[in-house]
Amino acid sequence: MTPQQKIYALFGGVFVVLAIATVVGRALAGRASEAQKETIQNLNDRIDAWWAMIAIFLASFLLGRTATLVLFALSSFYTLREFVSLTPTRPTDNLSLIGAFYVLLPLQYLLIGLDWYGLFSILVPVYGFLLVPILAALAGDVNDFLLRVARVQWALMLTVYAISHAPALTMLNIPGYEGQSFLLLFFLITVVQFSDVAQYVSGKLFGKRKIAPNVSPSKTVEGLVGGGAAATLLGAGLFWITPFSPLQAAGMAAAIVAMGFFGGLSLSAVKRSMGVKDWGRSVKGHGGVLDRLDSVCFSAPVFFHLTRYFFAA
């Protein structure tokens, strides 16, 4: 199969799965009792949103690398907007936020487009780290200075730096895998999103022992193990689109599952500390964009570096 044919086969597979989910969801809605109505409605909202997300993802694949970079830059934009909106920033943070939104965010994605790995890997953690306090100091407000600066730095690391490692997979040069590295992006997103869904379902069915009840009451050992195993198997089954052997693909998927889980857990803690349940309401049924990408934030950099270290030239 050519890489193009692989893409069609993969999206075809996703469409079939979603179509089945849609039919089942609609059937459940037809016979749901009053008490279950809300849950089923939320389920169907989620499935509808999945169609939209998959369509956007497919379009970006077909339109090429630039479109993919724009899509992820917009994802960073929306997640940064959600994060900053919920964070109690002050009017005097305007200048450092201008630096974050209008300078660092576009530059990070431009560097991927230019294949400038060196600067890509230090832009936010070094130059962004230094730029934010400079701008905040120039703005002249000393109230909670360190706290305010740290919040913007944290938001940038999470929503710009970490997320940008997903499309950065297209920068990797892997011998024998030339021109196909965008399939690694598909591998990452599919495993991480399937893992979220599988953990949710497995937790609902078998969940007993809560892992961190204060942080996220819905995360259970049974959910993690069941959903994680399913996602790892799926990853192994997708080895043919990657440069990995089946066993290596399973290992990579397991790493993605683990980091994705910790991403969801850590960001739950952030949300709880701010007294909210969701990051926003822009994706119907799911909450905000960051609610869908929290696991990507943590898994993308680790998957990127594992692949780069062990497989890239």
Partner 1 sequence: MIDLALIGLTRFLVGGHPVWRGLSQDVRPRLYFANHSSHLDTLLIWAALPDALRGVTHPVAAADYWGRGDLRSLIATRALDAVLIDRSGGKRDETLEPLREKLRAGRSLIIFPEGTRSDGLLPGPFKSGLYQLACDFPDVELAPVYLKNPSRAFPKGALLPVPISCEVHFGAPIARINGEDKAGFLERARSAVAGLS
Q: Tell me which residues touch partner 1 (CB under 8 A).
A: 77, 80-82, 84-85, 89-95, 97-98, 101-102, 280-281
Q: How far is the CB of 180 from partner 1 (least distance, A)?
A: 34
Residue (74 or 221) nearer to partner 1, CB: 74
- What is the SS3 string spanning the chain? CCHHHHHHHHHHHHHHHHHHHHHHHHHHHHHCCHHHHHHHHHHHHHHHHHHHHHHHHHHHHHHCHHHHHHHHHHHHHHHHHHHHHHCCCCHHHHHHHHHHHHHHHHHHHHHHHCCCHHHHHHHHHHHHHHHHHHHHHHHCCCCCHHHHHHHHHHHHHHHHHHHHCCHHHHHCCCCCCCCCCHHHHHHHHHHHHHHHHHHHHHHHHHCCCECCCCCCCCCEHHHHHHHHHHHHHHHHHCHHHCCCCHHHHHHHHHHHHHHHHHHHHHHHHHHHHHCCCCCCCCECCCECHHHHHHHHHHHHHHHHHHHHHHHCC
Residue (81 or 308) nearer to partner 1, CB: 81
Nearest-CA neighbor of 21 among 1, 2, 49? 49
Q: How far is the CB of 52 from partner 1 (least distance, A)?
A: 17
Distance CA(18)–CA(266), nearest Å, equals 29
- Provide φ and ψ at 244, rounded to 5°: -95, 155
Q: How far is the CB of 77 from partner 1 (least distance, A)?
A: 7
Q: What residues contact 97, with CB distance under 8 A and at least 6 apart? A: 84, 89, 152
Residue (81 or 292) nearer to partner 1, CB: 81
Residue (140 or 179) nearer to partner 1, CB: 140
Distance CA(43)–CA(35), nearest Å, equals 14
Residue (45 or 222) nearer to partner 1, CB: 45
Residue (96 or 121) nearer to partner 1, CB: 96
Residue (139 or 312) nearer to partner 1, CB: 139
Q: How far is the CB of 153 from partner 1 (least distance, A)?
A: 16
Q: How far is the CB of 146 from partner 1 (least distance, A)?
A: 19
Q: How far is the CB of 86 from partner 1 (least distance, A)?
A: 9
Q: How far is the CB of 160 from partner 1 (least distance, A)?
A: 13
Q: How far is the CB of 98 from partner 1 (least distance, A)?
A: 6
